[in-house]
Structures are given as C-alpha cells and as structure tokens.
Chain A
Amino acid sequence: GDSVTQMEGPVTLSEEAFLTINCTYTATGYPSLFWYVQYPGEGLQLLLKATKADDKGSNKGFEATYRKETTSFHLEKGSVQVSDSAVYFCALSDPVNQGGKLIFGQGTELSVKP
C-alpha cells in the first residue's frame, strides 16, 4: 500500500543554518503531498502542500518540490530559527484510491539552538 518514509531525527541545527528533511513516498496513484508541523503540546498544522508533479509548495520560508521521478518531497529552509523547533511530518493523500485520509511518515524532530 501507499507509504511515506522520512529521514530519522532528531535533527539539531544552529540558528540560521540550512535545513533539509528528506521524504520519499510510495503510491499507486497520483497523490497530493504535504508537510505538517507539530509544535510542542499542540496538534498538527498544515505547513505546505503540492498537488501534482513539479509543483512547489512554500510557506514561512519553507519549500518542498514534488518530484515524481524520484518520488520525493524534501523539505528545505534556508535559515532556521529557534521558533522552528518542532516535529515535521511528511504525508500523502490519494483521494481517488484512498479517500481523503492522510498517510504520514514517522515524523522528524527538529531542534534549533541559538
């Protein structure tokens, strides 16, 4: 079945460092791809999304490009801040084959030090 694999954490960076969190997926159809973020003690919030190949999602300085040829959706940010410390989840949704539910990766914890 469909699945999402993320790089393992935790990832620890200094403020203003470059961030990459790798995400690859397996899907039988043509899924939409998402990054959600979970701040400590809170629920998940949608960070960005892309609905078709070569789409780039972006928000709050974060970007990810839907790469069908490599089945990847890596999250990047050029300069992280302490406030970016959170757990990041890559997810896919295949409404045609799987309904509206999201299938999540295992999450990657990011810790940004001042």
Chain B
Amino acid sequence: DSGVTQTPKHLITATGQRVTLRCSPRSGDLSVYWYQQSLDQGLQFLIQYYNGEERAKGNILERFSAQQFPDLHSELNLSSLELGDSALYFCASSGLKANVLTFGAGSRLTVL
C-alpha cells in the first residue's frame, strides 16, 4: 500500500457521460498530480495541485477539470466522455522532497 488511495478502481460508462475520480494523497503530502495512461499515448501528465491551488497544467482536455479540497483530497472530473478517454488514470502525491512522487493504484475507466 503506497498510501495514496484512488477510487473507484474500475468504472464503466457510456459516451457522453460524466465521471468523477477521487484521490486521497499520502498523509502530509501537499501536492497532488494526475496522470493518464493509455496504450497509444503512454503516461501523460494532466495537472498538479499544491495545497489547494493549481500549480501546473499539462495535456488536460477542456472537458476535464480537477480540484484539490481543503482536506487535500483531489477529484478529477471527466465530462462528455469519448471512447478515446478510456484509460488508466493515476493520482500521485509528493511532500517535502517535491520531485519524489508516490502513485496510487489507478482508476481504470472504460467508455463504451
């Protein structure tokens, strides 16, 4: 157990729908990162939050949004889902050693 908790582990939904993925970082970690892993794109950085504030943005689609709450958990919202959004979504957190990321087990999204 890495200490980073992601829910749900698996999610199957239909095109056009909206889903929310949740991440609880390791205790004491202030930074949360979201990554998308797909066969054709590999591991793509989506977005980073630090203590509730957006810190960096990567290849995140406009249909996707995220936030980090005062208790430091984070949610990734994916809307108007398309078949191509099917992927593993990983959350990671980091603490004082900002460049050492601890990953959760991932949420596997399947869009049918």
CB neighbours of B106 from chain A (8 A): 43
The answer to whether A101 touches B58 (Cβ under 8 A) is: yes
Q: Which 9 A-B pairs have CB atoms at the shortest separation, nearest pair first?
A: A93-B99, A43-B103, A104-B43, A100-B98, A99-B56, A44-B103, A43-B105, A106-B42, A101-B45
Enumerate chain A residues within 8 angstroms of B90, measured Cβ to Cβ.
43-44
- List A47-62 residues whose CB lies under 8 Å from chain B: 49, 51
Query: B-facing mask of A82-114, CB < 8 A → 1, else 0?
Result: 000000010001010011111111110000000
- Interface residues of chain B: helix, strand, loop or mixed (majority): strand
Question: Is A27's CB within 8 Å of the partner chain B?
Answer: no
Residue of A nearest to B56 (CB): A99
A residues 37-74 touching B (CB-CB < 8 Å): 42-46, 49, 51
Q: How far does the alpha carbon of A103 sit from the alpha carbon of B43 in the complex, in Å?
A: 8
B33 touches A100 (CB 8 A): yes
Q: How many residues of A contact B (CB 8 A)?
A: 22
Most-contacted residue by chain B among A36, A51, A89, A100 (CB, 10 A): A100
A98 and B48 CA atoms in complex are apart in Å by 11
Give chain B interface residues in 59-110, CB to chain A under 8 Å: 90, 92, 94, 98-106
Minimum Cβ distance to chain A for residue B30 (Å)? 10
Does A20 interact with chain B (Cβ within 8 Å)?
no
